[in-house]
A and B are shown apart, each in its own frame.
Chain A
Amino acid sequence: MSELRPPTPPRRHLLSVTDLTRDDVERLLDTAASLRATLEREVKKLPTLRGRTVVNLFYESSTRTLASFELAAKRLSADTMSLRSSGSSVDKGESLKDTALTLAAYEPDVIVVRHPSIGAPQLVARVTDAHVVNAGDGKHQHPTQAVLDLYTMREALGRLEGLQVAIVGDVLHSRVARSLVQALALVGARSVLVAPPTLLPDGIEGLGCETSTDIGSIADADVVYALRMQSERMSPGEAYVPSLREYTALYGITPDRVRPGQVVMHPGPMNRGVEIDPRVADSEAALVVDQVRSGLVVRMAVLYDVLTVAPVGALAHAGVA
């Protein structure tokens, strides 16, 4: 590390919601809210992370997550670059460890990792000195998605405490579901995972949620959260549901299943006509676009947070609020 650099705070990562406390989550939400205000200005760029470097290392396809991390870093004046597995040395068989070490040689402050294999962000954290942010590892965790979903719910409904959230769909393959139920439990909201038995693993209740195989159990929810059917994570021949047609008939979020007053969320990308009816996706109740918008400020807050030890109050000091 260069001697000209100010002393860096102890390394902080965001690898899993498991590592977060309620205070951490609330601090991130509050930071995001104060950053939101700055985005109303005509000049949207903040000097906060000037001179810092954020590397996005993406081994899986992504639109929302990659775009919002890139933009979040730019809005905070950090230098940023994004590396995708295709078109890089990964194509030549370079291991994740070697790619991480290569990037680490440029001394990035933050490495944002998305990877199809569980444990990839942990490996990058082990072999580099950077702050590591998990942008999704296999079926394991997607912590920034969970925080942006909380942020969206709080904006739309005005509270989190006591909220009832029904998460419906392919739970087995969903890192979004795993991170979100943990985050909801942290802030005092209640969640139920609703899925066919083959996509609802036993023991997941330990994350702090209930489970149900009955779509009727979404009736009491304030938020109905549809999960994407992840056909790409299912090997051929693995018959989790007999057909998408039957899945949609039993678990699809259709207009007749959504009660007035409920809001509907989806992490994207949507399979319209499979887990969510297009009429619902395009309705007033849908917060899908709000989720994307929240993604930007929440990821700004995350980058800010891992790079500063000081919590909320320091934002004003940094010239943000």
Chain B
Amino acid sequence: MLVCRNGRGDSLTLEGRVLAPAQRIDELLRITVENGVVARIEPGESSRAVVAPAFVDPHVHLRTPGREDEETIRSGTEAAAAGGYCSVLAMPNTEPVVDSAAVLGALVERARAEALVPTGFMAAISKGQRGEELTEMAELAAAGAAAFTDDGRPVVSSGLLRNALRYGSLTGLRLALHCEDPALSHGGHVHEGEVSAQLGLGGYPGAAESVMVERDLSLAALEGRPVHLMHLSARESVDALDHALERSVPATAEVTPHHLVLTDEAVRSLDPNLKMNPPLRAERDREALRDALRRGAISCIATDHAPHARHEKDVPFEEAPFGVTGLETAFAALYTHLVLPGLLSLETLLERMSAGPSRAFGLDEPRIEVGARANLVQLDLEAEWTVAEDGFRSLSANSWLLGQRLRGRVVRTVADGREVFAA
């Protein structure tokens, strides 16, 4: 269930090169929206803008409840709107953890009052995300959980995960898994490789992720139940995913913009805004992630938007918390670093930011057709801009792109029939 502020649908017109790869649309069109619904689609003339189905982010941290100094439902969904998103899924690793219908119900109520774009809340797989006992999954589903995850932590016990897959089948909701073997990632701050060896930073090898990816896929195969693999970072994880998909194991996967753009070489600067979990990895990992995204084995781009207060990141690299923001920069970062150099087509990028994540979580896919709720993003591919600390709607500015010049900009977002952002 996704919720946002109630309101009447807007009436407006968008015109440009309409690109809806999942629907095989690529033509100059004028889209007329009346009361939030696509009323007419007519031939257009202008090709100045690109209009596409708006984006869906399956992985954001809204830090509510508990850390409203870092992000609120309002600020986080304003950031989402500015990034071209028509819906987001929020993680449950808050304070308290979203592991009961009471906490979830309060969040849903708050989202009805505050959320600018439709927002879904994932609930925890285990109570307190401690990995010991299952949450009351059926009650959480009834209270509106969008999916289940212990994100931020792995489900260490294979037995608990198996029961979550079996019992969770009552709900019809997906399990989204953070894959990390804590015994292998222990003490790690960055990818284990040349950079960690040379800087002396604790290493977190790719295998710490891939051994859990392999386990999770084995359990998904055993139970015949779908799993969604979050923020994949390692080549070995992609290999395991490919192998499972060949055997028709029901699995989907996501990758973040920062893992697609950067490698651990960037960490040599010791900038705390380059510290995230999973860490930036080596060139061969980045290449495997890009390839899997092109092929569709990884079907979702997720920002893992993780706001942190300035004072928490203004510390030595080794002491800094993991996480970077991403909602407001995802499209421009990937357009600049992958599409413009010819590493990824614009069509594939748009598909993986919208239809891909919608399908992975069984959400309504943003579509451009008469009679559908309008969920549209208008993009200016020529616009150049500089990522600046004071330019964010998010309450936090721990972006890995600060000071960078980017091409391509979201100029208008329509979410659930309402214009939620206009540059």
Q: Which residues of A contact B (CB under 8 A)?
A: 95-97, 115, 117-120, 122-123, 127, 137-141, 173-175, 178, 201-204, 206-207, 235, 238
Contact = CB atoms under 8 A, between A and B. Distances in A.
Nearest to B269: A122
Interface in B172-204: 186-187, 189, 192-201, 203
B272 interface: yes
A138 B190 CA distance: 15
A204 B197 CA distance: 5
A96 B272 CA distance: 14
Interface stretch (B21-29, B77-85, B309-317): B309-317
Interface in B286-345: 311, 314-320
B318 A203 contact: no
14 contacts: A95-B314, A96-B315, A115-B316, A117-B316, A118-B200, A118-B318, A119-B270, A120-B316, A178-B198, A202-B192, A203-B195, A204-B197, A204-B198, A206-B197
B197 A138 contact: no
B214 to A, nearest CB: 22
A123 B198 contact: no
Given A118-B201, A138-B200, A206-B194, 5 more contacts: A117-B317, A119-B318, A174-B200, A202-B192, A238-B187
Contacts of A141: 200
B200 A178 contact: yes
Nearest to B314: A97
Nearest to A206: B194
A118 B316 contact: yes
Given A140-B199, A206-B197, A119 B314 contact: no
Nearest to A234: B187
A72 to B, nearest CB: 25
A54 to B, nearest CB: 21
Contacts of B192: 201-202
A178 B198 CA distance: 7
Interface of B: 186-187, 189, 192-201, 203, 270, 272, 311, 314-320
Contacts of B316: 96, 115, 117-120, 122-123, 137
A243 to B, nearest CB: 21
Contact of A95 (B193, B194, B272, B315): B315
Contacts of A97: 311, 314-315
A207 B318 CA distance: 21
A95 B310 CA distance: 13
Contacts of A235: 186-187
Given A95-B314, A123-B314, A207-B198, A201 B319 contact: no
Given A201-B203, A235-B187, A119 B317 contact: yes
- Specify which of A117, A118, A119 lies most central, judged by the most chain B CB atoms within 10 Å of its CB: A119
Contacts of B195: 203
Contacts of A204: 194, 197-198
Nearest to B199: A140
A119 B193 contact: no
A118 B270 contact: yes
Contacts of A122: 270, 316-317
B201 A140 contact: yes
Contacts of A140: 199-201
A175 B201 CA distance: 10
Contact of A202 (B197, B199, B200, B311): B197
